[in-house]
Amino acid sequence: RSSLGDRTRLLPEWYDGCMVPWCLYLSTIIHYAQELILDQDSYFPSFLRLHQVENEYGSYYVCDYNYMRHLRTLFHYFLGDNTVLFTTDGNTDREMTCGTLEGMYATVDFGTDVNISQAFSRQRRFEPRGPLVNSEFYTGWLDHWGDQHAQVDTQKVSRMLGEMLSMGASVNMYMFEGGTNFGYWNGWLNKLYQYFRNLSSLLDTLSPQGPVRSLYPLSFEEMNQYYGFMLYRTKLPRDLPEDTALISPLNGVHDRAYISVRGVFQGLLERDTTLVMNVTGKQGDQVDVLVENMGRVNFGSKINDFKGLLSNLILGNDVLTDWQIYPLDIDGAIASGWPQSGQRRSPPDPDRGPSDGPVFYQGTLPPNGLAWDTFLRLNEWTKGQVWINGVNLGRYWPKRGPQQTLYVPGPLLSPTQPNNITVLELERAPPHTRVLFMDRPLLNSTSGKTPQLQIEDRQT
């Protein structure tokens, strides 16, 4: 329901506080906004448009009215008068003071833990006339890896929504529908997988353009690689017969780095938590550092969230240099039919078991005449990414939790042809290397904490 007009189009708050990560660069934002606005003019010439100029800017650590005036001028220049500019901010005086500006309609956002009348009274102090608007009514909340699954009482959501609508308020439910993150955006048992032991042998497939050579590491953004993974490669500068510390002294690994020497997994470095690990080897041994982008911060003072190796790695007393940097297009390769399209693979060795470190596994789910929604569980797997029929379902991390399953929409599955499954396990797969397709999600189980599984209704 909207008191601001029936024909509106809203743009979301996404990755890094913006829809795409190149919004880290202001000039690119402005260029993109120009194209977007002109495109909307051609498709919706008679529409009354609402354009959100800023999202919760009052929560940012600066309070820059010149910045807000610049945005207002920019939007008016390109949009003209046939639009309504608005802002949304949290339900505090400080946030509303810093996030609003005359000439842009001020809205407020809040969830089920506040007094509705007080919240809208606060909006009225900053916007004396016009509709009451809760532009983000929090019907749910986000999960963090390692925390309990966030839940909001359904009856309370329903009651508060009814109260707001009875007041004539406009409400945008955030989120109305949700529950999974496809791609990189931070049942049945199938047969044993075949897997690829050596990631290095796959670089012609995953990085067809080859490496970029640089004395020092380059970030994802400098390599125009905004999602997923990049491989950094160099050589040991000297013999290391005993364990030698590999250090990220400035917390420069964003976000996880999987380290191998001569193809043998050594361990990992992780942002904020694991800044030191030990390696051994001989001078000239190949060092591979596979860096995973875990998704960008989209709120608060750390939204300039660059990825990759953002500072030098120190090995003992040596700074590692002379890097070959491979941007990896894993999604593109899998969408094109790899690895099922004839790539050499190694059958599992029951005596040796799964390898440590990054390994690709592939298998199939036989057709059974049905293509229903289902939920994929990778029980006893460690951490990684999974694709079905070329579509990136997202991350799994059952040991960290709370999410234990990934949503598989029915239309992704074929009822008549084998369904291809590809798994990139980053640390260690279980000996059975099987996955489970379930009729319900498991959303609330974390390592070291008492499971409180949120079981949804059975699929029909």
Domain range summary for the chain, segments of one domain joined by +: 49-174, 209-328, 332-438
d(CA 365, CA 421): 7
Could you report the per-residue pLDDT of 260-317, keeping only the tens digit for each? 999 999 999 999 999 999 999 999 999 999 999 998 877 777 778 899 999 999 999 9
- What single-letter amino acid sits at 344? R
Three-state DSSP class for 336?
Answer: coil
Could you report the per-residue pLDDT of 390-410, keeping only the tens digit for each? 999 999 999 999 999 999 999
**163 confidence band (pLDDT: 50, 70, 90):** very high
**225 confidence band (pLDDT: 50, 70, 90):** very high
Query: What are the backbone angles phi and psi of residue 376, rounded to the nearest 5°?
Result: -95, 125
Mean pLDDT, residues 441-450 taken together: 71
Domains 49-174 and 209-328 share a fold: no
- Its CATH class, for the domain covering 49-174, is alpha beta
| CATH, range 332-438 | 2.60.120.260
Q: What pLDDT does 458 receive?
A: 27
Task: Output the pTM of the full model.
Answer: 0.82
Q: What is the CA radius of gyration of the chain?
A: 25
* CATH architecture, domain 209-328: Sandwich (2.60)
The contacts of residue 66 (CB under 8 Å, 6+ apart) are none
* DSSP symbol at 287: E
The contacts of residue 411 (CB under 8 Å, 6+ apart) are 371
* DSSP symbol at 148: P
* DSSP symbol at 226: -
List active site positions. 56, 136
d(CA 185, CA 393): 10
For the chain, give the percent of residues with pLDDT over 90.
Answer: 63
Could you report the per-residue pLDDT of 42-101, keeping only the tens digit for each? 666 666 678 899 999 999 888 999 999 999 998 888 777 778 899 999 999 999 999 999
